[in-house]
Amino acid sequence: MLLLSRPLPPSIPLPASAQAFFLRVFENAVRTPDVSTLRPIYFMLNGACRILLNVLPVDRQRQFDEDLSVILSSNSAGQNQTLLLWCFGIALLAEYSGGKFDPPAPSDKQWKTSSYRRLFGSASKVNKTIQMTYMSVIWATKGDVGISNEDAIEGIRIAVRTLRVVDRAALEVWPKSSAIARNTVSKLADKVLRTNMTPAIQIEALSFCATVAGEGNIPRDVVAQYERCLTSIVGMNGGDGDGEALSMSVQLFAVSGLISSLLTLLTRQVPIA
């Protein structure tokens, strides 16, 4: 499992046994959908098996999509925020299987999977997906809820990718669409700006806030807290942390034009891709 959870070097082909192993693990997840069974599916698709769905027989691809769609609509996913994030992540990887994650302008005609349409196939579905994504990030940042730091970090990254698919106009309207939405946005701000959060988790949560705010609209208190987290992480790791993830978040905040000269100093240690 560990071997398949990381991309293989270009010179090493995917083992012939990987397909059968992947399908067995997924069949188990379909029978018992929970975090422990779906998490490995996400990491395999995000790792060595990222093109595997493309080479499955058509009937197997269709069955995978149908089973994932059923899990997304199940009570298990609806009641478990961590499980929901893994499901979102798998749906994204299935939709963009074998290709770069580069979401097009929202259009039902461009979506190849039913699980993706379940998330984004109508205005009401989009609003529900936004709501559930916000709530999942709030849950991941709570602390002391049985989520490891690694899972919280990866879960928030999935949330960022999920909302990158959503039309910018929908993201801007949603926070004002209802009392529930307004309360959710306020709750997220309270969680991500507190001072006692693990910096590595907080920097991902702040990146989520920047993603939903949009370029030029990132609140100054979010930017200020991001700078403090970035300083802390680079200081602790000596610039040897997760360079790719930091590079992405630095770019996200840099376009806001609000980062101080501190960012210039830090980016000398965190290369910008």
pLDDT along the chain (273 residues), means of 10: 80 89 95 93 92 91 94 84 92 81 55 88 92 94 83 93 90 94 94 89 92 86 86 61 60 63 50 46
pLDDT the model gives residue 239: 45
Q: Tokens for 105?
A: 């302008």
Look up the pTM and report it.
0.87
Chain-centroid distance, C-alpha 223: 20
Amino acid occupying residue 162: T
Cα 273 to Cα 262: distance, rounded to the nearest angstrom:
19
Cα 107 to Cα 86: distance, rounded to the nearest angstrom:
23
Sorted by sequence, the CB contacts under 8 Å of residue 254 that are 6+ apart come out as 263, 267, 272
- DSSP secondary structure string for all residues of 149-211: HHHHHHHHHHHHHHHHSS-HHHHHHGGGS-HHHHHHHHHHHHHHT-TTS-HHHHHHHHHHHHH
Helix (H, G, I), strand (E, B), or coil: what is residue 97?
coil
Cα 168 to Cα 105: distance, rounded to the nearest angstrom:
10
pLDDT the model gives residue 41: 96
Q: At how many degrees (to 10) do helices 81-95 and 58-72 cross?
A: 150
Cα 117 to Cα 109: distance, rounded to the nearest angstrom:
10
CA proximity to 130, closest of 167, 101, 155: 167
